[in-house]
Structure 1
Amino acid sequence: MTQLDAAPAVVPAVTRRKVAPPGGADRVFRIGIRAAGLIVLAIMITVGFFLLQNGTTALSTAGWRFLTTQTWQPDSGNFGIAAVLVGTILIATVALCVAFPLALGVALYISEYAQPRWKRFLVSLVDLMAAVPSVVYGLFGAVYLQWNALDVPRWIAVHFSWLPPLRVDGFDPNDPLGSNTVFASSTFFAGVIVGMMVMPITCSVMREAFSQAPQGEREGAYALGATRWGMIRSVVLPFGRSGMIGGTMLGLGRALGETIAVYMIIAPVFAIQPHILSSGANSVSALIAQQWGAASPFGLSALMAAGLALFTLTLVVNFGASAVIARSRSGQGSDA
């Protein structure tokens, strides 16, 4: 028998040594973060249960009419959130139209164009914008912006009035005596201010997503002759698509729940106002701020029900944002 015909030697199986679980410090850390997660979950469940418990009386009285009635007269039994819910969505939509392009442009400049020293400064500046209290934004919008920028919605109404949401009833652009005050205290200005408030959080998520685009793919795009914009378009933007969507949805969740800035700007109306440039708007959070101090016990229950609706809507948006961000992975959607 030759050596080639010999049967291969059987290598005995080696049992791997079991590694002991981490020591005391790791165990304490793991227990701590697990407890923190459970506490957050318990807080959310408690808030939802509190709103449901206190709003049950109003919900049982109004039934499904609570979602279809526009007026708000809880003591007479005629109340609902149809108008304020539509107003909340419209204000949030205008806010996203303002925040998304600003956040996208700032995030791309910081991650792709800014010098290192300017990058640190701009990151700190954007984070500082997120720390400014909402009442300061509300004061800026109510006292300065909406009275010094009335020509902006007027110009939009003149050139785009053929779009129903941008039409202003009672406004004649050919009337030299026409007043611009019909544009004040509108959904447009409330949305602009809220958009300025949600831009920092949206920008931060986008910036982090763009900065994680692989360097190899960036250099590969340059090697194929791409310009900087071509590299951004073919590598950075596809790679950060999930971050863009997630940041926008997180901003939407913030915009839906904004209270004091909207309360300080709008002229509250309890009717569906589809014309975003016209004076008069409302939101669920502003409704609660307006009615809380003078509400009867049944009125408080109705406000709790309105808060429950807003709480549910915000949770759905934020859970959707978390799901999108969690699915983000390196190289997703990249063409390079």
Structure 2
Amino acid sequence: MQNSKKITLTKPWQEYGFHGVTLFFAMLAALLLIAILFSLFIGSWQSLRHFGMAFLWTAEWDPVQEQYAALIPMVGTLLSSLIALLIAIPVSLGIAIFLTELAPPWLKHPIGLAVEMLAAIPSIIYGMWGLFVFVPLFQQHIQPYLIEILGQTPLIGVLFSGVPLGMGLFTAGLVLAIMSIPFIASVMRDVFAVVPPILKESAYALGATTWEVVWKIMLPYTKTGVVGGIMLGLGRALGETMAVTFVIGNSFRLPDSIFSSTTSIASAIANEFNEAGGLQKSALMEIGLTLFLITTLVLICSRLMINRMLKKEGKKR
């Protein structure tokens, strides 16, 4: 005769208590978000009243004359993040494909562990590495070569013009790409791993190559997860502070090439907040509020994109 365990029914007060605790934790996250937004709004109120909406499209930052605007930090943030994504997405895709489809079993775990360890390195270490390794390398070798070769190219030549300073948008974008790759690659690897083996085996049986399996089977099946991973990397790039502060140059001027020295929202706040007061402090709070709204907009756009993909997928089926 088999032993049977006695099942203890949950009492109503335990169920209500469990529901209340989980509801409290869920509401706590929403309340924290509202509190952060409210604090930024209150801190930036003086700047909002003084500069109005022109704060967003004016390119002047002069503490002496008390003239502040968000255009230069916004452009620096968006361009450095764009450069980071252009580098990180193909590299992350290659890592994820290799780990899921091509790597021998004995190599998967070490490389996967190395990718995960990259995510654990503090951002200040990336910044110091970029400053003492990348900046001299770019200044002496890479940037002069690119300026000489690509600087005279029609249309795109303006992007590779200027003085090889080592610091600037390109260096910041590259450091951000290296910091974003572990997050994007890990998500891509995990979503590729959940693709049903029968789909891939059927494609291979029909004579498909690995590239065709990835492009026609794996990516369509996991596109929502891939987009989520890319947005996770973009969020890391948009809000990064210390690493960008080391290598972007921290100059309040609009960039005229990818090698130009400029600043980002996070680096501007990190550099000036400690000594700021009055209107300058309020302006820094406002560009912090602007970064908050940019990341929120990116999140909304990513959700709309994913929902649109899911709707199209449902219509195809």
Paired letter, 1:40: A
Greater alpha carbon shift after TM alignment, 193-202 vs 159-168: 159-168
CA distance in 1, matches of 2:13, 2:117: 38
**Residue 212 (1) aligns with residue 194 (2):** yes
**Any conservation in 1 of the 2:89–2:184 contact (CA below 8 Å)?**
yes
CA distance in 2, matches of 1:237, 1:184: 37
Q: Which residue of 1 aligns with 2:120?
A: 131
**Any conservation in 1 of the 2:128–2:243 contact (CA below 8 Å)?**
yes
Of 305, 314, 318, the match for 2:286: 305
Paired letter, 1:66: F
Paired letter, 1:200: P
Paired letter, 2:126: Y
CA distance in 2, matches of 1:127, 1:323: 29
Q: Return the TM-score normalized by structure 1.
A: 0.82
**Any conservation in 1 of the 2:68–2:280 contact (CA below 8 Å)?**
no
CA distance in 2, matches of 1:131, 1:24: 42
CA distance in 1, matches of 2:14, 2:309: 31
The alignment of Structure 1 onto Structure 2 pairs a total of residues equal to 302
**Residue 168 (1) aligns with residue 161 (2):** yes
**Any conservation in 2 of the 1:199–1:251 contact (CA below 8 Å)?**
yes
CA distance in 2, matches of 1:27, 1:228: 52
**Residue 50 (1) aligns with residue 31 (2):** no
Q: Which has the higher helix share?
A: 2
- Does the C-alpha gap of structure 1 residues 304 and 192 become closer, same or farther in structure 2, counting only changes over 3 Å? same
Bigger Rg, which one: 1
**Residue 159 (1) aligns with residue 149 (2):** yes
Q: Return the TM-score normalized by structure 2.
A: 0.86
Greater alpha carbon shift after TM alignment, 320-329 vs 151-160: 320-329
CA distance in 2, matches of 1:63, 1:290: 24
Q: Which residue of 1 aligns with 2:243?
A: 261
- Does the C-alpha gap of structure 1 residues 113 and 35 become closer, same or farther in structure 2, counting only changes over 3 Å? farther
CA distance in 2, matches of 1:23, 1:106: 50
Paired letter, 1:312: L
**Residue 317 (1) aligns with residue 298 (2):** yes
Cα drift, residue 25 of structure 1: 6.6
What do the CA deviations read for 1:66-114 (whole angstroms, capped 9, x no partner)?
Answer: 1122121256342101111111111111111221111111111111122
**Any conservation in 1 of the 2:180–2:237 contact (CA below 8 Å)?**
yes
CA distance in 2, matches of 1:313, 1:264: 23
- Superposition CA RMSD, Å: 2.6
Cα drift, residue 185 of structure 1: 1.0
Of 181, 184, 188, the match for 1:199: 181
Q: Which residue of 1 aligns with 2:211?
A: 229
Q: Which residue of 2 aligns with 1:146?
A: 135
Q: Which residue of 1 aligns with 2:5?
A: none
Greater alpha carbon shift after TM alignment, 70-79 vs 218-227: 70-79
Q: Which residue of 1 aligns with 2:72?
A: 83
Q: Which residue of 2 aligns with 1:178?
A: none
CA distance in 2, matches of 1:90, 1:165: 15
Query: Which structure 1 segments of 5+ residues have no match?
Result: 1-19, 172-181
Q: Which residue of 2 aligns with 1:174?
A: none
Q: Which residue of 2 aligns with 1:9?
A: none
What do the CA deviations read for 1:187-243 (whole angstroms, capped 9, x no partner)?
Answer: 111111111111111112211221121222112112212123322222112222222
**Any conservation in 1 of the 2:169–2:262 contact (CA below 8 Å)?**
yes
CA distance in 2, matches of 1:325, 1:212: 18
What do the CA deviations read for 1:96-135 (whole angstroms, capped 9, x no partner)?
Answer: 1221111111111111122334323322222211111000
Paired letter, 1:147: P
- Does the C-alpha gap of structure 1 residues 326 and 250 become closer, same or farther in structure 2, counting only changes over 3 Å? farther
* 1:89 counterpart SS class: helix
- Does the C-alpha gap of structure 1 residues 296 and 39 become closer, same or farther in structure 2, counting only changes over 3 Å? same
Q: How does 1:34-45 map to 2 (within 5 A)?
A: 34-45=23-34
Query: Which structure 2 segments of 5+ residues have no match?
Result: 1-8
Identity %: 31
- Does the C-alpha gap of structure 1 residues 301 and 235 become closer, same or farther in structure 2, counting only changes over 3 Å? same
Paired letter, 1:297: G
CA distance in 2, matches of 1:95, 1:101: 11
